[in-house]
Structure 1
Amino acid sequence: MAGTIPAALREAAERYGDNAAYVEHGVSVSFAALLERVRRTAAGYRARGLEPGGRVVVWAPNSVDWVVAALAASYAGGTLVPANSRYTAHEVAEIVDRTQAVLVVVADGFLGRTQVADLRAASDLVSVREIVDLVRLRDVEARDVGDIDVVAAGVSPDDVADILFTSGTTGRPKGAMSAHRQTVGVAEVWGALGGVSAADRYLVVNPFFHSFGYKVGIITGLLTGATLYPVATFDPEETMRLIEAERITVLPGAPTIYTSLLGAPGRADRDLSSLRLAVTGAAVVPVVLIERMREELGVDQVVTAFGMTEAVVVTMCRAGDPAALVATTCGRAIPGMEVRIAEETGELLVRGDHVMLGYLDDPVATAEAIDADGWLHTGDIGTLDEGGNLTITDRLKDMYISGGFNVYPAEVEQALARLDGVADVAVVGVPDERLGEVGRAYVVPAAGAELTETAVVAFARERLANFKAPRQVAFVDALPRNLSGKVLKNELRGLDTPPRSSAATRPPTTKKEA
């Protein structure tokens, strides 16, 4: 296995040569051509002041240019710092300042915004030598690459490859640092367990700035020779068109991706039969979603997995696992990782090769997350069966106590997900004078569905103990989620108490953007 990202890129160019590494808007880029663009861009970075160990922030949506910009940072011996393309300039400026980035690569004009001007207005950017507009990335390429290949060869597997900032659902985002051996290693394991090969056509809907798109997308593509199709913004109709036209075989994604496809009005008219592998994961994946992905989308192999920014992939189902196991668990620990459940709290603890090095410039937070024995405390509550398969039952902080009984919202959500007309649902605990806390269900109605609060509560009470059934129901257009697909329940708790609407109807929709 290549121990560094530059080595993985060079080996991919040697092994797969003229095979398509990427296809974007009908234009193919071979593995050999990708290497040449990265070499020239890396040399251009060096000419602009990037030294080994320096940081490069990339703030842009998925594209081949994003890949070149990111891989060039590694090839020049630097550290990649992806920034969420939906972040404001103030949020990105904070990341730039905290990482002391030397270069910032920006997709100026994305979503109609003025990113470069806004970024300059948000901060003095004292560490930055240059802001590069991604559209003009080729202007950075050096004609003479000089000793850039020597620099790339000097990158160590133990050097910091990337700093990925957490979604910040519990406060200020923290920068999780990973070494090259970890980023390459987890991508290799994921690809092997999914059986990904050079014959695969891999649609990357997951954002490249997230580990799901970057590590198990870009890096897995280098290691396996799969052809990647980057998608800048998710649109169900366009996604189905690409699957049909390009005979896409691999489509990983957050649960909301598949929910959107299942609800797309034109799905029955599309041939999606080429899909062989779908991998999804979040804190909790509704069992009914897995069932529908198999039955209605016709995906040959649906696999669930569990991961997080601090460890990328922790557990994963395997090919050949029984359908019931895949539908109800996140699989077992991947090679190089181990898991256990804390006896007192039920919290999932993780240890192994792919656990981050630590948080950037934050030894206190690192010590709180990783104990003296190397166990990463995930904050998720889970169980392990006799075969070591993990079931996530909830977030430790999401449990609430109603009338003296512990209630785990995920259990309630799994039940409500089976109610006809429910497209999405999240449950939180809210204050109650008599019981301390009661459940409030935030329900997203399916297109054209008619639901009432009475019907939702009655459905829950038929299937759950009385103390578990929600006492309040709010109908909303969408649930706030982070890029891992996890519901931002802090945002739901911050909403004013919703009106006790007696009914809700969601009109049919034709487009949904991720």
Structure 2
Amino acid sequence: MSFRNPYDDVEIPNVSVYDYLFGSIAEGDLDRIALIDSKTGATTTYRQLIGQINAAAGALAARGVGVGDVVAVLSPNIPAFATVFHGILRAGGTATTLNALFTANEIGKQLVDSKAKLLVTISLMGPQALEAARAVGIADENVIILDGEGQAAGGHPNAADLLGAGLPAPSVEFDPATHVAVLPYSSGTTGNPKGVMLSHRNLVANVAQIEPLNGMTADDVVLAVLPFFHIYGMTVLLNAALKARAALLVMPRFDMVEFLEGVQQHKVTYAFIAPPVAVALAKHPVVDNYDLSSIHTMLSGAAPLDAELGNAVAARLDLTMLQGFGMSELSPVSHLMPFDRGEKLVGVRAPLSSVGWAVPNTENRIVDPGTGEDVEIPADGVSAAGELWVRGPNVMVGYLNNEQATADTIDADGWLHTGDMATVDADGCVTIVDRLKELIKYKGYQVPPAELEALLLTHPQIADAAVVGAHDEDGEEVPKAFVVVAEGAELTAEEVMAFTAERVAPYKKVRQVEFISAVPKSASGKILRKDLRK
């Protein structure tokens, strides 16, 4: 039996992301501050941002970017990210965002799979970006280094080259419901990273779905430390905040002191975090040295937030702590606590251990993975656990060039099978309790075991390997490798960890190693991870 949220559905216009966010902006909002650079304090107004987006779109069109062409973006959070990202969409292109921690090899994989024709980056990431681009055949003139010397100095095109020509944005036509706006990469419920095709309608829908729940207004100053390249930062921060006409304090990475100084100096009112930030805010003594009283709301996502930890932050900083749930394949938000935890909008207060209610315009099912039958929704109390299924306008178009993975995730009736185990209470409030899927969540990042296993098997002294999530001394989930050493070989745990650390982004590193005689597998050859977890 399906169930819905307690809210009214919202209108989802059939328009592009650009038209939805900026097409009807009020004259009085144009001179509001849209972006604040946390490093320099420089500000960008909505008027300036829209002008820059249009100029970027014109420059990209002049470089041959049109409807359906893919442009890759490799950058931390900087104000120019918003210009480039929305410029690509404005030109009719598709933006594939790369993790700023990626190695050249990882960058190259995504460039090839997405068929990107241009790569936009910054000088800090230039070495690995250029190595990857050259390896996959992207010409130097198609690598734009935003803060580089520029073509006039014999270098790669830079931001001035992109925006200085002042070319008008092109006139483009496409169907917002089917045209792919962004192509982030996700491991889905299992396996190697896959391109998640999200249409303009997917992104517009998700901003519209969360807008009445997050309580964000034009008077808010929103801290943007979660990466824009991740779908959480892309939708919940970049797009939703711009739609609300709020000001975004753009921070390239989390540094405790810079975080606290930014909040104090710019009077941040709304902060979006992942659980590791909550740990620091709850426990670090330096927090007491700063005035954080301007923050009225903090929302945690990307990984489960422990209720005790969340309540500790709320009590220490005197704010409302919220939690939500989503995945790249859902654009990403499927569940969210309202800004008041539900007291006014729903009539009950969501427990912080939950992820709140389904967002508007969506349906949910909780299905017993053993029987395939729907779990009964209780008249009182909490249901049994089952796999959470979601259906709505925020469900992805599918995985790029992978019909089988798409069919394995979205069934014939349009239900997306999340791979997460959940319960629902009598009020419709959902709590995530476990994972069916094999992904490891390290500090909010997805770590696919299959990717690390494939890498480990390239080591000449490793005969077999399996990777699962384990917990470190702080209770954080980390990648743990079970390794079978080749006959006659000798290998240490430190050597195994160093081997992976040299070849993957830091968050994917193997952090624990155990040597075993054989990897347990089913008759079909599938790794029995549950046996290893025991």
TM-score normalised over the length of structure 2:
0.72
Question: 2:44 maps to which residue?
Answer: 29
Structure-2 change in CA distance of 1:344 and 1:170 (3 Å): closer
Structure-2 change in CA distance of 1:389 and 1:176 (3 Å): same
Structure-2 change in CA distance of 1:116 and 1:397 (3 Å): closer
Cα displacement (A) at 1:232: 0.4
Partner-residue secondary structure (3-state), 2:473: strand
Of the candidates 114, 137, 152, which is equivalent to residue 159 of structure 2?
Answer: 137
Instruction: Give runs of aligned pairs for residues 217-256 of structure 1, distance below 5 A.
Output: 217-256=237-276
Q: Deviations over 1:71-97 (max 9, x none)?
A: 100111111111100011111111111
Of the candidates 353, 369, 373, which is equivalent to residue 409 of structure 2?
Answer: 369
Listed as ranges, the gaps of 5+ residues in structure 1 are 400-408, 411-438, 447-479, 481-486, 499-514
Q: Which moved more, 1:169-178 or 1:8-17?
A: 8-17
Structure-2 change in CA distance of 1:15 and 1:170 (3 Å): farther
Instruction: Give runs of aligned pairs for residues 170-249 of structure 1, distance below 5 A.
Output: 170-249=190-269
Partner-residue secondary structure (3-state), 1:35: helix
Instruction: Give runs of aligned pairs for residues 39-438 of structure 1, distance below 5 A.
Output: 39-110=54-125, 114-125=127-138, 130-135=142-147, 136-141=158-163, 143-146=165-168, 148-151=169-172, 154-158=173-177, 159-166=179-186, 170-299=190-319, 301-311=320-330, 312-318=332-338, 319-321=340-342, 325-345=350-370, 346-397=386-437
Structure-2 change in CA distance of 1:219 and 1:338 (3 Å): same
Structure-2 change in CA distance of 1:14 and 1:181 (3 Å): farther
Cα displacement (A) at 1:144: 4.6
Q: Indicate if the aligned counterparts of 1:198 and 1:224 stay in contact, CA closer than 8 A.
A: yes
Q: Indicate if the aligned counterparts of 2:275 and 2:304 stay in contact, CA closer than 8 A.
A: no
Equivalent pairs counted in the alignment come to 414
Q: Give 1:165's aligned amino acid.
A: Y
Q: Indicate if the aligned counterparts of 1:203 and 1:230 stay in contact, CA closer than 8 A.
A: yes
Question: 2:460 maps to which residue?
Answer: none
RMSD value, Cα: 2.8
Q: Which moved more, 1:25-34 or 1:5-14?
A: 5-14
Q: Give 1:150's aligned amino acid.
A: S
Q: Indicate if the aligned counterparts of 1:4 and 1:180 stay in contact, CA closer than 8 A.
A: yes
Cα displacement (A) at 1:324: 6.6
Q: Which moved more, 1:78-87 or 1:101-110?
A: 101-110
Q: Deviations over 1:232-266 (max 9, x none)?
A: 01101110111111110110111111212223331
Question: Is 1:443 matched with 2:473?
Answer: yes
Cα displacement (A) at 1:370: 0.5
Cα displacement (A) at 1:296: 1.0
Distance in 2 between the 1:14 and 1:80 partners? 29
Question: 1:406 maps to which residue?
Answer: none
Distance in 1 between the 2:287 and 2:258 partners? 11
Distance in 2 between the 1:296 and 1:235 partners? 19
Q: Which moved more, 1:305-314 or 1:322-331?
A: 322-331
Q: Larger RCO: Structure 1 or Structure 2 (Cα < 8 Å, ≥ 6 residues apart)?
A: 2
Distance in 2 between the 1:69 and 1:242 partners? 24
Listed as ranges, the gaps of 5+ residues in structure 2 are 1-11, 148-157, 371-385, 442-468, 477-499, 501-506, 517-534
Distance in 2 between the 1:397 and 1:98 partners? 23
TM-score normalised over the length of structure 1:
0.75
Question: Is 1:496 matched with 2:514?
Answer: yes
Structure-2 change in CA distance of 1:10 and 1:54 (3 Å): same
Structure-2 change in CA distance of 1:241 and 1:123 (3 Å): same
Runs of 4+ in 1 over 4 A off after TM superposition: none
Partner-residue secondary structure (3-state), 2:95: strand
Q: Which moved more, 1:284-293 or 1:76-85?
A: 284-293
